[in-house]
Amino acid sequence: MEDLTYQIDLINSKTRDLVLAEFQSRFGASPDYLLRSPGRVNLLGEHIDYNDGIVLPFAIDRATWLAFSANGSDQNNILALDLGQSCSFTPASIQIKQDNLGNLLPEWALYPAGVNWAAGNANLVCVGINAVYSSTIPAGSGLSSSASIEMAFALAWQTLSAWGLIPMQRAFLGKEAENLYVGVHSGIMDQFACACGKANSVLALDCMSLEWHAIPLPSGYTIVVANSMKPRKLSEGEYNKRKADCEEAVRLLGIKSLRDISPEEFDQLSHILPERIRKRAKHVVEETDRVIKAIRLLEVGDLGEFGKLLNEGHASLRDLFEVSTPELDLMVELAQALPGCLGSRLTGAGFGGCTVSIVTDDQTEGFIDQLSQGYSRTTQILPDVYVCRASEGTCLV
């Protein structure tokens, strides 16, 4: 286990050093600040954050590393080190999603530009920034690399411009950027988890009241994430279609939210819904119920029963919400059959990306080896499988 956690610590350390060195090379001075902004894994509660439900994410020990300084102008000069691409924009140019030369912003730049744009809408001043960033979060993996970047730049501009926002307020700034600038109609969960993470704890967030609390993870178990190596791209529209289906179910049922009804009540009413809409809504209603049960199990340390809820959640995402893929289904099926695995499911919005499994400590190394080999034999693709630890949220280092 120590070797597995050492590997990600080493990756993070190398990434941090590369970002610092590249900033010095690019801008001719050391950065004034360095920050770390984690990705997230959602243990349970998928696609219910935008349905006012309760979710169970945690911030992970893979992160965006951002070095930055003020530059005394209104121009923002940003280098995405992983892509080898740079972009400069001003508050004026991003109003029409252009850089300062009149070119359309590249897709990766929409996330920092969106935060700048959302801040301007909130009458928050953003001083011009020189920035270099790199990430140990695989892009398109369902681990919220985009929210991690949004929270990184939100804290960077706050640090330089003295906004004084609390982490949840920065999360909503990132959500506005994601929804209205990037065009993905997501809920608050991803930005919240990245901003508010607590070490060694899962976060229980009520997306209706915004009340939340941290639940310590029981000892003796490991959370393993497996990347199917099939990237996802939510801005292509499937995510937004699912959200629209849920909104239609609410309208047809005459309720304020799918959070408002129990599984039993839904079964009595669901006959009035078209089949596709019924399936989407059934997942949300039952997933909400699963999370309520899961919180009680986590609080008493019963991860055996908790793992069964993960298995049920995957079946629902596969059959009712229809966001799984053959690769994700294979990964989950393999994981669930291995010794020491208490439960496994896709994590994130689906359409590709990663699975999350809960495994007993004593079986973790064998689990990772066997899962990698089994997936590779069937797909001829070598997956990235690794231990994930719950970490602190976005912070200066």
Q: Based on the residue annotation, tell me whether 190 is a catalytic residue of this protein.
A: yes
Report yes or no: 349 and 234 within 8 Å, Cβ to Cβ. yes
Burial class (CB in 10 A: 0-12, 13-18, 19+), 397: exposed
Supply the pLDDT for residue 3.
64
Q: What is the pLDDT along the chain (397 residues), one digit of tens a residue?
A: 556 666 778 888 999 999 999 999 999 999 999 999 999 999 999 999 999 999 999 999 999 999 999 999 999 999 999 999 999 999 999 999 999 999 999 999 999 999 999 999 999 999 999 999 999 998 777 788 999 999 999 999 999 999 999 999 999 999 999 999 999 888 899 999 999 999 999 999 999 999 999 999 999 999 999 999 987 665 458 888 999 999 999 999 999 999 999 999 999 999 999 999 999 999 999 999 999 999 999 999 999 999 999 999 999 999 999 999 999 999 999 999 999 999 999 998 899 999 999 999 999 999 999 999 999 999 999 999 999 999 999 999 9
Annotated catalytic residue: which of 190, 260, 319, 361? 190
Supply the pLDDT for residue 145.
92
The hierarchical CATH code for the domain 2-216 is 3.30.230.10
Q: What is the pTM of this model?
A: 0.91
36: β partners: 65, 395
97 DSSP 8-state letter: T
Supply the pLDDT for residue 235.
47
Question: 48: which residues sit within 8 A by CB, 6+ positions away?
Answer: 54, 55, 207, 258, 259, 284, 287, 288, 291
Domains of the chain, residue spans: 2-216
Give the Å distances, CA to CA, from 372 to 43, 182, 195, 196. Answer: 21, 34, 31, 32
